[in-house]
Amino acid sequence: MREKYVMDFHEGSAEMKSLLGGKGANLAEMTRHGLPVPPGFTITTDACRRYYEEDGKLPEGLIDEVALAMKRLEGAKNQTFGGVESAPLLVSVRSGSVHSMPGMMDTILNLGLNDRTVEGLARSSGKPSFAYDCYRRFIQMFGEVVYGIENIYFEQLYHSMKSNTDTDSLDHLPQEDWQTLINQYKKAFASHAGRPFPQDVHEQLELAINAVFRSWNNSRAVVYRRAHRIPDDLGTAVNIQAMVFGNLGDDCGTGVVFTRNPSTGEKGLYGEYLINAQGEDVVAGIRTPLPVSELERSQPETYRQLLATCEQLEKHYRDMQDIEFTVENRKLYLLQTRNGKRTAQASVKIAVDLVHEGILSRTEALLRIETGHLDQLLHRAIDSSATLDVLAKGLPASPGAAAGVAVFDADKAEQWAKAGQKVILIRMETNPDDIHGVIAAEGVLTSRGGMTSHAAVVARGMGKPCVCGCEEIRIEQDAFSVGGQTVKEGDWLSIDGATGRVIRGTVPLTEPEMSAELLELLQWADDIRELKVYTNADNPADASKAREFGAEGIGLCRTEHMFMSAERSPVVQAMILAETAEERAAALQRLLPMQQSDFEGLYRAMSGLPVTIRLLDPPLHEFLPDLEQLQERLSSLDSAFSTGNNEDNRYGEEREELERLIRKVKRLHEANPMLGQRGCRLGIVLPEIYEMQVQAIFQAAITCCSEGIRVIPEIMIPLVGHPRELEILKEMVHREAKRLLAAAGQELPYKVGTMIEVPRAALLSDQIASHADFFSYGTNDLTQMTYGYSRDDAEGKFLAYYVENRILPENPFEVLDTEGVGQLIEMSVNKGRSVKPDLKAGICGEHGGEKNSIFFCHSAGLDYVSCSPYRVPIARLAAAQAAAASKTVAYSG
């Protein structure tokens, strides 16, 4: 039997999202529960996929099914599609994909109007102006969606008719003038579409269905899918629904409400309402709407009904809902419900509140939070003590502070951002065509539109600061003016999406604070996660911050960072440039107390927790000046001498010193430093450096222990590829430790382990494990060496192309390549534990703070992940989600 492409609302349910799209499935669900949804039906996503398989042809039989469904709709409404005797049946045709893509695809309202049916609508409503206004809107929307005719051609006609009348609206326009306007619209349509406006309502419907399918692949939808990682082959459903009218007069209107505040998460109806307006007016941000409390004032009974319905929907879906509704002559209709997009702050508060309200379990709440959302919460806000040059205030649509230069055009925003400039995108109202500019910008500012306008919804979804409806500012082409001041393209501007402030210049920012709800949620995460969360930190401030965020130790201290300060680098350079063993020993003796104090700082910050210290990793030339710069210095010294400008007569001495440096830098030069003399190779060839570091580690430990601090040092050897490398260095560590601890008369448990970041080490992990107390996967290098990519070159050159063209699913330096690199890790853990069952294993590459990679670490049986301080809360949550997800699978399996 042939597939069925059409389902009436009462046949579907919320579970059928992939077939009916989110909107269709939820309309069906609401219909099943007896809520006031205008009747209609959904064309499935299967039909859309088939449409694309057949190169843009509607699948066979679809139109017949639609015709039958329209007949049923006529019966339900007691109206005729194309009927002229009484009120004609009019429908909306709306897209609706599985994932909500607000405003990215197309919608047509009032379909079914033509020169004859409009008269029926005028008669039956008793409001000719309303009927003609619907017809005018329909011609415009149909022209735009089906034939790509720009709105401006119609808007011009509308405004010039309006300027010829005395009043603000066209409500009392005489019938002849309406007729003139409609004729002008049809003319504009014909001249741009190259055909007359279709009078046959069935043809209108068929063209509209085609156009909605096509809109799945319009450029803004494609960009949105890329940004949100939505697959391209899902297709959209089409919802065809009997029209209800919010524009029939002042006891009508249309609105969008959230059941909780989508910015803060506070419970209570939150939204906007436009009196005497039609559907798209609210979301399109064309008029700035009133708060929904306006409905409570003007129609208390309808408001109470809306409130009760919203509560019912929230309980049913067990989540905050974003609801579109229309009031037609005081009667409430629901046009859509979906889980509302929300800010990070709201997302945490809502999930925690729903647990307290008994609606969700703790595990469900944890699984609800996107890890990316926590990322935003841990970002900065404007320092409240700063003096700000506040230019204007708009609606606080999406929190967070952003600064950038003012740009008034989405294309330019994209270009400038690509060139490395931070930009704030400023528009009168963003429309979905601006999506690429929104993605590129640090934040978005609009002068029109409410909290549910596209700019607001899209920015919130992306976690970008947004201020909208800032009506004080007057936007001209490349500038805006406010209170006698002007901000031009390229001027620095800041916005505060939490308060709506628009500020001239850049602003000082403060560190984020964790809300009570977030702390509670993370506590629940700690209760169920199995992975420990460590941090990568090389100084006491970072270590303390990480501990505040819940880190349970340091998983990686990159000691080379301690060698790079202005104070230390001359000593480090002297050590590298030493010509004799004595000279080198002297320089190392000067470095020793510095290193010791570094480690004491870390031990104090992490008292009672493990501190993993990696011995020096990079090649030595990284600590020396750049060869080209040295050569430039030499030639400017020479030219100063030849022009007699060398006043202190130290030319000869200086020249000799420079030449010595150049010789040394040249000697240390390597063709492939990443694969050269670095890590343990350096430690074996020049053992004095590692010996100094080990002495510093233990002397610091001895000092801290005497202060009562519990010290747990773990010494980590980088870049091991052969077991013998680890064996040699492990013996050196034990020898030094024994000597120093014995001299201090102290006992101290410590560990010696290795990074696994060279594929050979992963392959020989059983042999390596016999010398190691722990393994730490250095997935940055392991990815480089498994793929054979040098990260800096790959990211600068071909990797973006690879990801954009789907040659690789992700950047493997951001999201762990579980298939390749992950295979090595799994094999390595298993081999390592086959010789040492209690071998501690973790990850310390950048992947340690990324959700999918953490899921992998959980399933591979690692003991811990280690990540940068600000990612610690994300790692705690992701580790809990991984544990919860694996339990769910285990139970259901």
Catalytic residues: 454, 844
- Which is closer to ligand PEP, CB of 351 or CB of 546? 546
Identify what 619 binds: Mg ion, ligand PEP, none; CB under 5 to 8 Å per kind.
Answer: none
Between residue 772 and residue 801, which ones bind ligand PEP under the rule CB under 6 A?
Answer: 778-781
Pairing of strands 107-111, 91-97: antiparallel
Identify what 779 binds: Mg ion, ligand PEP, none; CB under 5 to 8 Å per kind.
Answer: ligand PEP
Q: Tell me if 758 contacts ligand PEP by CB under 6 A.
A: no
Between residue 660 and residue 699, which ones bind ligand PEP under the rule CB under 6 A?
Answer: none
Identify what 844 binds: Mg ion, ligand PEP, none; CB under 5 to 8 Å per kind.
Answer: ligand PEP
Decide if 558 contacts 718 (C-beta within 8 A): no
Q: Which residue is nearest to Mg ion (CB)?
A: 781
Closest CB 853 distance from ligand PEP, rounded Å: 12
Closest CB 318 distance from ligand PEP, rounded Å: 40
What residues contact 667, with CB distance under 8 A and at least 6 apart? none
Q: Which two tokens stand for residue 517?
A: 């709800």
Question: Residue 778: which H helix or E strand, with range?
Answer: none
Decide if 144 contacts 192 (C-beta within 8 A): no
| Cα within 13 Å of Cα(44), Cβ side | 19
Please name the residue that has the structure tokens 């940004």.
227
Site size toward Mg ion (CB under 5 A) is 3
Among 757, 773, 817, 863, binds ligand PEP (CB under 6 A): 757
Specify burial of residue 572 (Cβ count, 10 A radius: 0-12, 13-18, 19+).
buried
Question: Residue 853: which H helix or E strand, with range?
Answer: helix 851-859
- Which is closer to ligand PEP, CB of 517 or CB of 781? 781
The neighbour count for residue 155, using CB atoms within 10 Å, is 11
SS3 54: coil
Closest CB 321 distance from ligand PEP, rounded Å: 43
Site size toward ligand PEP (CB under 6 A) is 10
Q: Tell me if 822 contacts ligand PEP by CB under 6 A.
A: no
Specify burial of residue 579 (Cβ count, 10 A radius: 0-12, 13-18, 19+).
exposed
Between residue 191 and residue 210, which ones bind ligand PEP under the rule CB under 6 A?
Answer: none
- Which is closer to ligand PEP, CB of 441 or CB of 720? 720
Identify what 556 binds: Mg ion, ligand PEP, none; CB under 5 to 8 Å per kind.
Answer: ligand PEP
Identify what 845 binds: ligand PEP, Mg ion, none; CB under 5 to 8 Å per kind.
Answer: ligand PEP
- Which is closer to ligand PEP, CB of 133 or CB of 781? 781
Identify what 131 binds: ligand PEP, Mg ion, none; CB under 5 to 8 Å per kind.
Answer: none
Identify what 655 binds: Mg ion, ligand PEP, none; CB under 5 to 8 Å per kind.
Answer: none
- Which is closer to ligand PEP, CB of 598 or CB of 617? 617
Integer CA distances (angstroms), 203 to 140, 146, 198, 383, 691, in order: 17, 12, 7, 59, 84
Closest CB 865 distance from ligand PEP, rounded Å: 12
- Which is closer to Mg ion, CB of 96 or CB of 842? 842
Q: Tell me if 845 contacts ligand PEP by CB under 6 A.
A: yes
Q: Tell me if 846 contacts Mg ion by CB under 5 A.
A: no
Decide if 326 contacts 335 (C-beta within 8 A): yes
- Rounded to whole angstroms, the Cα distance separating 595 from 689 reads 11
Identify what 865 binds: ligand PEP, Mg ion, none; CB under 5 to 8 Å per kind.
Answer: none
- Rounded to whole angstroms, the Cα distance separating 730 from 712 reads 17
- Rounded to whole angstroms, the Cα distance separating 715 from 773 reads 10
Q: Tell me if 556 contacts ligand PEP by CB under 6 A.
A: yes
Identify what 133 binds: Mg ion, ligand PEP, none; CB under 5 to 8 Å per kind.
Answer: none
- Rounded to whole angstroms, the Cα distance separating 215 from 209 reads 10
SS3 861: coil
Decide if 465 contacts 416 (C-beta within 8 A): no
Closest CB 292 distance from ligand PEP, rounded Å: 51
Q: In terms of Cα–Cα distance, which of 119, 148, 136, 122 is closest to 187?
A: 136
Q: Tell me if 850 contacts ligand PEP by CB under 6 A.
A: no
Please report how the helices 201-215 and 62-77 are oriented relative to each other, as an axis angle in degrees rounded to 10: 120
Identify what 762 binds: ligand PEP, Mg ion, none; CB under 5 to 8 Å per kind.
Answer: none
- Which is closer to Mg ion, CB of 689 or CB of 717? 717
Decide if 501 contacts 388 (C-beta within 8 A): yes
Closest CB 780 distance from Mg ion, rounded Å: 5
Specify burial of residue 649 (Cβ count, 10 A radius: 0-12, 13-18, 19+).
exposed
Please name the residue that has the structure tokens 């419907």.
205
- Rounded to whole angstroms, the Cα distance separating 45 from 434 reads 26
Q: Tell me if 22 contacts Mg ion by CB under 5 A.
A: no
- Which is closer to ligand PEP, CB of 3 or CB of 622? 622
Closest CB 781 distance from Mg ion, rounded Å: 4
Q: Tell me if 558 contacts ligand PEP by CB under 6 A.
A: yes
Q: Tell me if 781 contacts Mg ion by CB under 5 A.
A: yes
Stretch that binds Mg ion, among 370-378, 494-502, 781-789, 871-879 (CB under 5 A): 781-789
- Which is closer to ligand PEP, CB of 750 or CB of 777? 777
Identify what 102 binds: ligand PEP, Mg ion, none; CB under 5 to 8 Å per kind.
Answer: none
Closest CB 784 distance from Mg ion, rounded Å: 8
Please name the residue that has the structure tokens 């843009």.
56
Closest CB 821 distance from ligand PEP, rounded Å: 10
Q: Tell me if 850 contacts Mg ion by CB under 5 A.
A: no
Decide if 469 contacts 446 (C-beta within 8 A): yes
Q: Which sign, positive or negative, has the C-alpha torsion 434, 440, 444, 450?
A: positive
Q: Which two tokens stand for residue 616?
A: 């020096």
Between residue 608 and residue 667, which ones bind ligand PEP under the rule CB under 6 A?
Answer: 617
Identify what 264 binds: ligand PEP, Mg ion, none; CB under 5 to 8 Å per kind.
Answer: none
**What x-and-dash track marks residues 711-750 binding Mg ion by CB under 5 A?**
----------------------------------------
The neighbour count for residue 395, using CB atoms within 10 Å, is 22
- Which is closer to ligand PEP, CB of 542 or CB of 781? 781
Q: Which two tokens stand for residue 877?
A: 């949550």
Report the amino acid identity of residue 558: R
Q: Which two tokens stand for residue 814?
A: 């951001």
Going through 634-773 in order, the beta strands assigned E by DSSP cover 712-717, 751-756
Q: Tell me if 778 contacts Mg ion by CB under 5 A.
A: yes
Stretch that binds Mg ion, among 141-149, 376-384, 458-466, 774-782 (CB under 5 A): 774-782
What residues contact 836, with CB distance under 8 A and at least 6 apart? 769, 770, 772
- Which is closer to ligand PEP, CB of 347 or CB of 765? 765
Identify what 558 binds: Mg ion, ligand PEP, none; CB under 5 to 8 Å per kind.
Answer: ligand PEP
Decide if 396 contacts 500 (C-beta within 8 A): yes
- Which is closer to ligand PEP, CB of 305 or CB of 780? 780
Kindly report the CA angle at 674 between 671 and 675, in degrees rounded to 5? 75
- Which is closer to Mg ion, CB of 29 or CB of 725? 725
Closest CB 877 distance from ligand PEP, rounded Å: 22
- Rounded to whole angstroms, the Cα distance separating 214 from 144 reads 13
- Rounded to whole angstroms, the Cα distance separating 487 from 786 reads 50
Q: Which sign, positive or negative, has the C-alpha torsion 58, 59, 64, 65?
A: negative
Among 757, 817, 846, 850, binds Mg ion (CB under 5 A): 757
List of residues contacting ligand PEP (CB under 6 A): 556, 558, 617, 757, 778-781, 844-845
Binding site for Mg ion (CB under 5 A): 757, 778, 781
